[in-house]
């Protein structure tokens, strides 16, 4: 293991714990969640594997240690996989966000990234939920409409918190160099 990969272990653990804490701290805001942006940020700063691990551990903790009881296994699996995908989106967005200095381009990339993260999480989740709890189409349509709250909130969260991510990334980069 390289010193840089050893340094990632506590960061992944910390951000996984932050995901767990924020998932319950913001639970009163229905379908508004910082989880997607946190995992996206980890992928952006450290690459897609650390981003995916952070998403898997953070959402695994959230869905397993739920005060209302753990989610059913099919739902748990889809939640974890959907959250992991935000790390992949963050890693791929890094290249495009750093190439563009035009503010409008950056905002459009962030909006696109937030849409991909949210839809990649909620589309499979709504399908599995509707399949498990029936009637399929009614449940899927209502779940999809309800997911629009997350789509809108993630667009706001990604665009507002991106400057904070850049600041944190610059500090991280100085520590590694």
pLDDT digits (tens, 9 = 90+) for 147-164: 999 999 999 999 999 999
> Where are the domains positioned within the chain?
3-176
Q: Which fold has domain 3-176?
A: Arp2/3 complex 21 kDa subunit ARPC3 (1.10.1760)
* pLDDT for residue 17: 97
Question: Residue 10 — very low, low, confident or very high, per pLDDT cuts 50/70/90?
Answer: very high
pTM greater than 0.85? yes
Stated as kind and residue range, the H or E segment containing 123 is helix 103-133
Question: Residue 136 — very low, low, confident or very high, per pLDDT cuts 50/70/90?
Answer: very high
**Eight-state DSSP code of residue 29:** S
**Eight-state DSSP code of residue 135:** -
Q: For the residues 2-29, what does the mean pLDDT come to?
A: 90
Give the rounded distance of the alpha carbon of 58 from its chain centre. Answer: 10
* pLDDT for residue 26: 87
What pLDDT digit, counting tens, does each position of 34-56 carry? 999 999 999 999 999 999 999 99
């Amino acid at each position: 293991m390289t010193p840089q990969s050893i340094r990632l272990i506590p960061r992944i653990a910390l951000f996984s714990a932050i995901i767990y804490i924020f998932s319950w701290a913001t639970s009163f805001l229905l379908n508004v969640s910082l989880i997607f942006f946190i995992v996206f940020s980890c992928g952006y700063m450290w690459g897609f594997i650390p981003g995916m691990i952070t998403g898997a551990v953070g959402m695994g903790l959230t869905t397993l240690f739920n005060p209302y009881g753990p989610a059913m296994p099919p739902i748990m699996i889809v939640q974890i996989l959907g959250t992991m995908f935000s790390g992949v989106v963050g890693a791929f967005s890094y290249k495009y966000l750093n190439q563009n200095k035009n503010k409008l381009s950056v905002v459009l990339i962030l909006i696109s990234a937030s849409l991909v993260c949210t839809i990649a999480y909620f589309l499979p989740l709504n399908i599995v939920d509707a399949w498990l709890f029936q009637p399929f189409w009614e449940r899927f349509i209502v779940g999809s409409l309800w997911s629009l709250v997350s789509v809108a909130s993630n667009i706001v969260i990604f665009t507002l918190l991106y400057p904070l991510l850049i600041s944190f990334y610059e500090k991280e980069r100085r520590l590694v160099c």
